[in-house]
Structure 1
Amino acid sequence: MPLGYLSASPSQQSSQFTALPELPTLAVVLRARRRKLERNFIRFEEWLIRGLNLAFKCLKCGKCCRELVIPIVLSDIELWVKSGRLDLLTYVTEREARGWARRLGLEHYFTFVMRRGGCPFYRGGLCSIYRLRPIACRLFPFAYSPLGITFHPWAERNCMGIGIGEPLNDDELREIELLAKTMLRELLALPYYSTFIKELLMEVRGPSKALPPGEADA
């Protein structure tokens, strides 16, 4: 009922009612909205089922290694330093934040210098630093969302290994959750330790060498 209807004159009441949609039209609108709601619910149900069946098997196609620009966080660098692989730092560069990184509130982030073939450590169809690969690589194709672990949006569109193999067991799921939360926490804290990483990279390369430019943007 329109506001002011009770205080309006009979003629005004009549004119206000004529402005309302006719009942058949209203029924059509309600049916359309119900169908839209049902479609959205089906999409949500499909997404939830995928989340509950996190099955994945790497087919070693190398598409992610060739196309994705992955973030490098403090835990990655700590692992390389402890493993005596300071040479890996010479492949690290700082990149302007775009897309997901900008949405996290970052202005810059660290990643590998990408070559025409993708990741500099993707050689002969294999990862040459597999044991020391960054958290982002160990986490892929999974991602962390407010509802829990799900598949990375890029992986859902491009990874043929999704849905193949056995779903994650409880131990694997806990490990993935730990990796995802660690990466998110360290990305959010990046402004507080980025200067340290820059100084470390400069020390490894020498004072006369600047950070190498990247060839692709995320």
Structure 2
Amino acid sequence: MDSPQQICEHYPVFVEKVFEMTESQDSTMISVAVDTVGILESSVEGEQVLQKTGTRFERLLTRIGHQAKNASTELKLRCLDAISSLLYLPPEEQTDDLLRMTESRFSFLSRDPLELFRGISNQPFPELHCAALKVFAAITNQPWAQKLMFNSSGFVEYVMDRSMEHDKAPKDAKYELVKALANSKTIAEIFGNPNYLRLRTYLSEGPYYVKPISMTAVEGAE
């Protein structure tokens, strides 16, 4: 009921406990801590409060990134959900300082965060696939992330490829990612007009579009 800033400033022992729990060996403790971080980070105010803890928060990010890659499926999902909250920045609140903040956070999650989440999305588990796509969708309206995606080998094709999604939930998650990219004010400049038009085409076709298979008659065939 209180704001994240009030909670963290009035109860510093609470913040300390959250940090301690993320470094626990108990997956239940880690899960609760990760969920708590996600809630605190669901507003820009909360993001700035934890940011003030400096290197402690950087270690927390690295820890969450490690768990997102190596933990059980349930904990991976909770980490990915928290990461989405950690990185999301509404367009109307994107100042230079806050954009630098989210870019810095992304870099502390892993040596190659983009490939980390791309790898998770390629695993044969729909829930993880959707959660990784949600992380990408959280950052796609930020210019630094768009540049990173464009310069990453094969990433644009990965976004456009419909063949990886077979069920409704993954198709919807990929569509939300494409929609976030296509509606960004900076995407045409960063991705280039041809790719921008491909995104708009994907958007207009909808999440469940299937490319028609052309039937070519072969002489002599029955």
TM-score (normalised: structure 2): 0.25
Is the strand fraction higher in 1 or 2?
1
Is the helix fraction higher in 1 or 2?
2
TM-score (normalised: structure 1): 0.26
Q: Which has the larger radius of gyration?
A: 1
